[in-house]
Chain A
């Protein structure tokens, strides 16, 4: 296993326009989640809301290297993955509110957004629930002679589930084009990962013969470069890999998780938000390179704000499904 130090290669081929696009995508995820927070606290959103704020560089850095026909699977903290893979905010908000216009006609909700058009096999509310599905999609790609790949996103909490090791073993034996992306945001719900995870994380995957790497998950350039290399390798029949993205969730496990001091300090949160913010890190770099200036960032911010506001209005105004829908779609 290695640590990614080779970002320069891919980065040098990436144009300013692409970096700015990634910046915009990260802003979209963040502002989407801010709207979710708002909807939730105004009691407009039923259920639970797990925000992705702080982790934007992971979903965006990985998904920017994927094609529309590549597959992803996502988690309970999945809004960022779905958006980064190309979902549109209006239908996502509609799903979060249980509306007919949502991606799943309101039957899935925040934790189950799925969309064949963008290769999204579905977010999953079972921790490690989609590791088999992603691996199976990679098997289909290989068996059907296509060159698409599958990316399986999961939190480090999924490292406790045996099925992950079962499917990594198979992926390695069968050389499947799947990339397991472990988002280590340090905490499961309310427990530090060091209390639940023995040994070295990438070493677990390396033991099965997967290419295993770790990357700074706050640095979208590093995520993009490393994920790009692993995805390219999978596409060229180089087999499965495992990428740990070290990251941090800024807010609670879910919107209602307010008093967090029993499991993490305010200083720690402040450090990540001020020193390790993925949007700020990319913006600073773009400015230092002379590739962008603050007016551009401000414009992006206000454009995305307007887009999100419109999307929320759409979802709030959209009708609920008719009750007769409850019995539909049980069987194909």
Chain B
């Protein structure tokens, strides 16, 4: 990380700063979405942008996720660099044809003749008491589709650097932001320009006895679990892949070989989720160095319930990760 002139920003501020900088740098960059202009979205992540860039570049759309995502695909093909804002990650279901059958395939189907340089920003994460249709983490859906890139930042620093890379990428990129981090998570962000390349995992904590591979919202959970493990004399390494696709298989496998035990933690549904893919990559790449089966931890296979004690039970916590790690190391 760059040292000079680093200040603390919230996750939401880091996202906004990346957007503003890229919009200043490139006049083709524009934002479409519901309540993105004067309202700055319900999470206020975009506040101030319309004042600086005007309604020509920060466009309030009707509540038509499929329609404005499709419009973004066509606009991206013909000279703009649109960023679409999908208020809640649950609503990506409405955009599936535009993303999966159009955006992801235009470049390939045209034999490389057309490109779709667009970004979809959306949210993930439960525990906001938002109920079953505003709490899901559906990033595995897009990670399954060739032609798309999927980004999952876990810190303000990563959010800013990765979002700038996403906006400059020539392909459709889906950028998932944990809605619980917008105001709650603060972290150092340098004032000067930087970007973070896709496909490069970040070791968030170096350790010896077990690897915790964690994404997005689960990185803080894994770091908390690592602190608890340290109190019992165990050293956990926390590895954040940062992008689901492209995936930095090498760093994941190297860490697994070093520690010989791995838990993969992600807020998406555990069944058929990204944890399964990452676990398989590690099992194939580090099999002869593993001392235990690779363990997955994700959301329970149920619609997210509203009632707080029920909702809290659906996702991995510091405590549950700690307990699984102890067990995997034969300590429980």
Contacts and interface: CB of A to CB of B under 8 A. Distances in A.
Interface of A: 71, 73, 102-108, 112, 114-116, 121-122, 124, 126, 129-141, 143-144, 150, 162-163, 166-167, 169-170, 173-174, 328-332
Residue among B74, B79, B106, B114 with most chain A CB within 10 A: B74
Residue among A71, A126, A132, A141 with most chain B CB within 10 A: A132
Interface in B212-266: none
B170 interface: yes
B83 to A, nearest CB: 13
B3 interface: no
Closest 3 CB pairs of A and B: A132-B70, A136-B74, A166-B67
State the main secondary structure of chain A at its contact with B. Answer: mixed
A38 B115 CA distance: 34
A115 B113 contact: yes
Nearest to A164: B67
B114 A167 contact: no
Contact of A114 (B30, B114, B117, B146): B114
Contacts, number: 152
Interface in B57-73: 59, 61-62, 64, 66-73
Contacts of A136: 70-78, 80, 82
Contacts of A129: 97, 101-102
B154 to A, nearest CB: 24
11 contacts: A103-B113, A106-B111, A112-B110, A114-B111, A124-B102, A136-B70, A136-B75, A137-B77, A170-B64, A329-B111, A332-B171
Contacts of B69: 132
Counting chain B residues whose Cβ lies within 8 A of the other chain, the interface size class is 35 or more
Contacts of A162: 66
Contact of B97 (A134, A141, A163): A163
Contacts of B5: none
B44 interface: no
B70 A131 contact: yes
A142 B62 CA distance: 19
B74 A170 contact: no
A140 B115 CA distance: 14
Nearest to A106: B111
B107 A332 contact: yes
Contacts of B123: none
A330 B108 contact: yes
Nearest to B62: A169
B122 interface: no
Given A131-B70, A140-B80, A163-B97, 12 more contacts: A104-B109, A114-B110, A121-B74, A132-B66, A132-B102, A140-B79, A166-B62, A173-B62, A330-B108, A330-B146, A332-B112, A332-B116
